Structure 1
Amino acid sequence: MEYTNKNDTVYNEGSLQKEFDISPILERRSCTSPKNLIRIDTKNKNITQEDYEILTIINNDDITYQVFIEQYTYTNKSITTRSFTNDDSTLLSNQSMKYYLYQNCTEYSMQNPENAWDFIYVNVILMENNDKNHTFPFQFTYTCNENYNFITFDWSLIILISISMMLMALLTRFSRILSFSLKGQNGRFQGFKIDIIITIFYFVMYTIGFFLVFNSNYIEELTIVVKISTYLMGFSCSLFIIDEALNLSPDGSFWKRKVFYKIRLCEIFSFMLASAFMTLYLFTQAWYLSDLISIFIMSTIAKLFKFKNLKSAFLFLIICIMLDGTAASVIYFATKQSYNSLTLKILNCPIELQLPLLELQYDRSCAWISLFSIAIPGLYMGFTYRFDKNKRTFSYTIFTGLGLIIGYIIWITTTIVQTYSIPSSIFIYPSILIGTIIVALKRNELQSIWDTEFFDEFLEKQYRLSNIQGQHDIVNHLNLMEGLDQCPDEQPTQSRIFK
């Protein structure tokens, strides 16, 4: 069966295409790509005039069928429906017939424009001569108002933001790498420094990816490539983070027993668990499994990449603001669609944190936040937290957190007062930068935090009490926290207890 107005195949060899199945949305089981909610606007000013879609039914069997069509709506308030065909209801073998599915908007849709849309349910019934029926159900979406005002706010967004802020706090505190170390480095490897090279790489990859996906004649093929890449990344990150969690166990524990060469039980169990997560997600497309994989990816980013000074962080965040703002503007002016909705339509995979909407909305099934919109502020707050540890203060972390909350409040407000969504980074990133700069100016440390790559004791210092064994003459008065902001490569300075 083909839905001719959109040139979409509804059923292919008896299998319903997911674009025409809204049951996962209604049951809140999956954040199905809103691509399957087909928008059809009536351009007629007269509300009593009907609109229609053409359904083509092709019989490839060696059987003659009697065809019956049932069409109805979900709420039966905004839209009335009827079916009509110019053909006889008899469908011969290797023949086709066209059905016209008519919709008519009611006065209710004019009086309640926020509800001027509905799900259209269609049942195609093929009856054999022996009265055996074959039913093929599908759904699509119809709106009475071509200028329909999207409802962009849902309380699920507040819940999602609260979860994301808790994740940022965790990413800030648990950013050490425990499961492996790289050769040729002093001490344990604790991540790559985000510098101009990584910033340029991110800029180039974002730009190429955006223009290829949103301005290409091969969008479906490119989308598949992006999704496969995301799945591979999700599996790798799941394996890494589960291994990291198991490495929190003390040395000599069950999980750290070697099985073969350098492979331990924790690596084997991590591989099995990561494989199970990815397999379940690929088969179910469940939003909660997608979120779990997204959390693994975000945690990996937080552990493998670090800001070392404010200058690098400032440049990277400004680049992100420019990229997200440009992408949203291009989408709006080129397609007249919302950045929020279109992104989830094309790239519905674990690159965003998702949560089903509490109230059904036209063209949307879930609230979502890009994992980079959580991971990047998490990286930045991790930087301010470590700088605070170095300076023995909490001012930078507190004011950066307040800036994050203010940025979210402004972003949520914009989603309520206007139709088309704006990327959260445009509000959040400047807000957290301003919070840090205010504290630095107040403490007269702007030059220090801007340029200096301070000794990061939170990540790099090895606390070994064995270094002070035998110093019986001062052990009772020794302050173990003294001198922790020294770099191991520097000459030790005299402790204040001798001054």
Structure 2
Amino acid sequence: MFNIILFQIITNTFAFPDVTLSFGTLMPKQKDPEENLPATIYKDNQINRYFDYDQFPLLSCCPTNLTKYKVDSLNLHGHGRQKFILPLTITNNENETIILRQLTITDYLEYQDIPVAPKLSALPILQPHQSIVVEFIHSCERQVNNTNYWSIQNVFIRFQDFQGLNFQYQFICDGSFHPKRFDWSNIILITFDSIVIIILATFGKIYSFRIAFVTPAKRKQFEEQNIQNVDLSPFQGFYLYWPQALAYMGLLLIALFTSMSFQERAEKIIQILVYLICVLTSFHFFNEIFGKFRNTIPILNQKLYCLKIRDYLSMVLSALLIFFYLYYEQPWFVSNLLSICILGSFIKLFKIVSLKDALQFFIPLMIIDIFCSIYLSQTVRYEWDSVALRYFNTPLSAQFPYFRYIYKKKCAWVSIFNLLFPGFFLGYVNRFDKHKQTYVYEIIAFFGLLVGLILWVLIQFITSFPLPTSIFTEVLMILTTALVAVQRNEFNIFYSGNFYDQILMDPFKNDIALQEPTTLEMFGLGATTQVIKRNTIQQKDLVQSGEQGLVLNSQLFAGLASVNRSQQQSNIIQQKYQNHY
């Protein structure tokens, strides 16, 4: 008996009553047929998820798909605010009378300001199976700005002896108003990403695997001479120039037209492909990090069954990243970690080897970027970046939350390809600087990237046209570094790439442990062969202690001996020439 009474007390005190809450059509009636439709908020003791802001991931940059009611445009003539009425119908499904005790409407975000006043059409007493209408009167300024053109309205409703209920909806005072899209998060994002990309570009050496691709020319050398006389440099990445640019153009066009035509259906396919890329690149990136410390932490190189310890650690870390990304519904900071993995992996696997190749790679990319910008301006125009994050919120974009949300946009974002391609060029100037023993080109290219991104953000603030970043970043980077090369009288070498590139030609020159004969899989031969690099200098002690003190190795004077020998030979020839005459 006591349990039954307690259950009744809890039910009557804490449960929300069996009512139906629904919005009618916005008045005056608007033209947009897809907006302002009647919608049920609460029915059968369950709230509609599109009226519950908490149902949407808080840390995800995907725009909130909360139910919205939008005014097409405001009448600029007249005085005072314009009024728009949204009727809320409350139907009592209980078998007893209930009394509406509290109904408040506030802005969900503190920096928004659209006043809403509720107006009852009758007494707040609902008889069984009867309805009342509450008019939500929205007051809109005739001249709107970023703070009063759009708002998320939070409604709290409570009946006597029952628990209250919160629900939210969006209200837009002027659908034709385009808010200023600048937020300081844009500057933070591009500055952080520029620093990340230049750091990644300085670590272009591949550590995680050592393989050598046997080309037809190399295979012919194997047949003609001893295998130990064939020079096989470890694989250090694929070269980039115009064929790779054309391949990227083809993939981009396929993805663009497929996504614009099918949207939600294409979203699933693209997400699966991106997740596959994330798994592979994060595994490779973590393996590269562990490979960097393979000599400092020897246990990383120890084998367990068929793989090394660092391989297992890389698998675990990459799996954890993907798990957190999916389980917590795409939080922006986990997405950025996956973006860094993609950038770091691709910068190691693909390399530009000259300014000439950079031009052949960048020019087709800028052409396709301009084409895509024109296409997007004709189709989605102002909301192109919101559409991208709504349907394709993946780690292919670097993200940072806005300090002040705007309609359909929660985060600043930039495509990682707008960072990756300049990163390829930063990798090249880094290797060129190492050859010249300077930091000039890398610093100039970095500031070219940073200034280009800032210019792009500022121009996007002025105009809604979707301008590509490549016409700012890549042009500035190439022009500034080329001018420096001309001034330093190094343009021919910088343009052609004809210099000693240690990372590509002899990446493990200073790593004694890796100069020993290494087992390399010969692709094309179908066998595993011991290969010793040609002209490999074995390590020797140049100074030894003997009975009479320190003894210097004769190899130190090999160069001097050869010089003396050549001088003696020239003197003998000259003496013979004089004796002859």
User: Normalised by the size of structure 1, how large is the TM-score?
Assistant: 0.79
Match of 2:53 in 1: 21
Q: Does the 8 Å CA contact 2:152/2:170 hold for their aligned counterparts? A: yes
Match of 2:206 in 1: 177
Q: 3-state SS of the aligned residue for 1:148? A: coil
In 2: Cα distance, 1:19 partner to 1:474 partner: 82
Match of 1:148 in 2: 177
Moved more, 116-125 or 299-308: 116-125
Q: How does 1:237-276 map to 2 (within 5 A)?
A: 237-251=281-295, 253-261=298-306, 263-276=307-320
In 2: Cα distance, 1:146 partner to 1:288 partner: 31
Q: Does the 8 Å CA contact 1:157/1:367 hold for their aligned counterparts? A: yes
Alignment partner of 1:234 out of 244, 260, 278: 278
Deviation at 1:56, TM superposition (A): 11
Match of 1:390 in 2: 435
Which AA in structure 1 matches 2:105?
A: Y
Deviation at 1:98, TM superposition (A): 12
Match of 2:138 in 1: 104
Encode CA deviations 1:410-461: one digit per residue, 9 max, x unaligned.
2232133334553322311111111122123334444443344654213331
Which AA in structure 1 matches 2:174?
A: N
Which AA in structure 1 matches 2:308?
A: R
RMSD over equivalenced CA pairs, Å: 4.1
Q: 3-state SS of the aligned residue for 1:337? A: helix
Alignment partner of 2:153 out of 102, 120, 139: 120
In 2: Cα distance, 1:194 partner to 1:235 partner: 23
Q: 3-state SS of the aligned residue for 1:354? A: strand
Match of 1:190 in 2: 236
Q: 3-state SS of the aligned residue for 2:401? A: strand
Q: Which has the larger radius of gyration?
A: 2
Percent identity reads 23
Which AA in structure 2 matches 1:79?
A: P
Match of 2:516 in 1: none
Which AA in structure 2 matches 1:442?
A: Q
In 2: Cα distance, 1:65 partner to 1:189 partner: 80
Q: Does the 8 Å CA contact 1:339/1:420 hold for their aligned counterparts? A: no
Q: 3-state SS of the aligned residue for 2:554? A: coil
Match of 1:473 in 2: 554
Residue 48 (1) aligns with residue 88 (2): no
In 2: Cα distance, 1:53 partner to 1:401 partner: 56
Match of 1:483 in 2: none
In 2: Cα distance, 1:324 partner to 1:20 partner: 38
Is there any run of 5+ residues in structure 1 with no aligned partner, and where?
Answer: 480-493
Match of 1:207 in 2: 253
Deviation at 1:54, TM superposition (A): 8.5
In 2: Cα distance, 1:232 partner to 1:207 partner: 20
Inter-CA distance 73–445: structure 2 relative to 1 (3 Å threshold): same
Alignment partner of 2:375 out of 311, 327, 330: 330
Q: Does the 8 Å CA contact 2:355/2:496 hold for their aligned counterparts? A: yes
Encode CA deviations 1:444-498: one digit per residue, 9 max, x unaligned.
444443344654213331325753637733527989xxxxxxxxxxxxxx99xx9
In 2: Cα distance, 1:243 partner to 1:18 partner: 43
Deviation at 1:206, TM superposition (A): 0.6
Encode CA deviations 1:155-204: one digit per residue, 9 max, x unaligned.
12221122112112211211111011234352221111113321111000
Is there any run of 5+ residues in structure 2 with no aligned partner, and where?
Answer: 1-20, 25-33, 215-231, 513-536, 543-552, 568-581
User: Normalised by the size of structure 2, how large is the TM-score?
Assistant: 0.69
Inter-CA distance 43–359: structure 2 relative to 1 (3 Å threshold): closer
Deviation at 1:335, TM superposition (A): 2.3
Inter-CA distance 302–44: structure 2 relative to 1 (3 Å threshold): same
Match of 1:78 in 2: 114
Inter-CA distance 211–20: structure 2 relative to 1 (3 Å threshold): farther
Residue 220 (1) aligns with residue 301 (2): no
Inter-CA distance 115–384: structure 2 relative to 1 (3 Å threshold): same
Inter-CA distance 38–419: structure 2 relative to 1 (3 Å threshold): farther
Deviation at 1:30, TM superposition (A): 3.2
Q: Does the 8 Å CA contact 1:307/1:313 hold for their aligned counterparts? A: yes
Moved more, 348-357 or 73-82: 73-82
In 2: Cα distance, 1:223 partner to 1:281 partner: 17
Alignment partner of 1:139 out of 168, 178, 196: 168
Deviation at 1:323, TM superposition (A): 2.7
Q: 3-state SS of the aligned residue for 1:201? A: helix
Deviation at 1:406, TM superposition (A): 2.8
